[in-house]
Amino acid sequence: MYNAFFGFTQNPFNMSPDPSFLFRSPQHEEALANLIYGVQSRKGFIVLAGEVGTGKTTMLECLRDFLNSQQIAFASLFNSRLTVEQFFEMLAYDLDLRCNRLSKSEVLLSLNNMLLERAAAGRTTVLIIDEAHNLEWDVLEEVRLLGNLENRRGKMLQIILAGQQELDRKMDAPEFRQLKQRIALRCTLRGFNLPESVAYVHSRMARAGLKVQTIFSGELLKEIHVRAQGIPRLINAICDNLLLTAFALESKTATPGMLDEVTSDMRLEYPGQRTFHPDTQYSDGAIRQSRVPFRVE
């Protein structure tokens, strides 16, 4: 809607996980390097943990893109609220196993045969389970047992468990100690610090085709960081709605008053919650009447 008005060639703050927009902060570089190393070295279990909106799914998509040209097959389970039966059915479907997908024993036999064939050909198979913190105990136990599939060269099935910080806390429970001991690598994503948040916004806008960023002032970017608490998804949502508001008001710059309106409508809560003074150029009422409804995709 606002791309042509500001000079973007594409949406700079799309909420979809797009690897081409991955901002490679030091923590993201480290996490991606660990994921790549873990898969290529056939380490078995890898955990990717982080709060909501810190970029875990984007990181996993980036991993898939990076390893796509190699002899690596990926299976991804994004619905973690599954029974044991549903888990094996989805696993068989995603790996295209030729068997009775409703039979756990047949799925396991077919999976083992497939992994042996792929391993003999020097190929790697990766199972990604997103939102893994939602997995029930009995499903997690089945996941642990899948880690027993190995040959002399290492684990035949690489398993990446991605989820919120609750996943780490879950692993600390006594009933998960056997799985915890098998975790070869742990990666954690946290919210950005201020310089990272500012660089993140500039990076996305440049990637979307903007040559010179004059829409957000330095002070406004600092306040965006505070209100988003450095969480990339919230930064995207705030900036997207700020651009919509500025576009609706035919303004080439976003203002503190617009930020107040956007974050108020989003019902954001953050430490030291406050509002700026109303803009002198636009009254609160003018903003409220002119801006389009906010969106969080």
Q: In sequence order, what are the residues at sequence separation of 6 or more whose Cβ sits closer than 8 angstroms to the Cβ of residue 20?
A: 207
- How many Cα atoms within 13 Å fall on the side-chain side of residue 193? 4
**pLDDT above 70 covers what percent of the chain?**
91
Which pTM was predicted? 0.85
**Ordered domains of the chain (ranges, CATH):** 26-189 (3.40.50.300), 192-290 (1.10.8.60)
Q: What pLDDT was estimated at residue 288?
A: 47
Question: pLDDT by residue (tens digit) across 115-145?
Answer: 999 888 888 999 999 999 999 999 999 999 9
Flag whether pLDDT at 280 surpasses 60.
no
Pairing of strands 183-189, 45-50: parallel
Least confident piece of the model among 237-241, 256-260, 293-297? 293-297
Flag whether pLDDT at 285 surpasses 70.
no
Q: What pLDDT was estimated at residue 206?
A: 96
Q: What is 166-208 written as a DSSP string?
A: HHHHHHTSGGGHHHHHHEEEEEEE----HHHHHHHHHHHHHHT
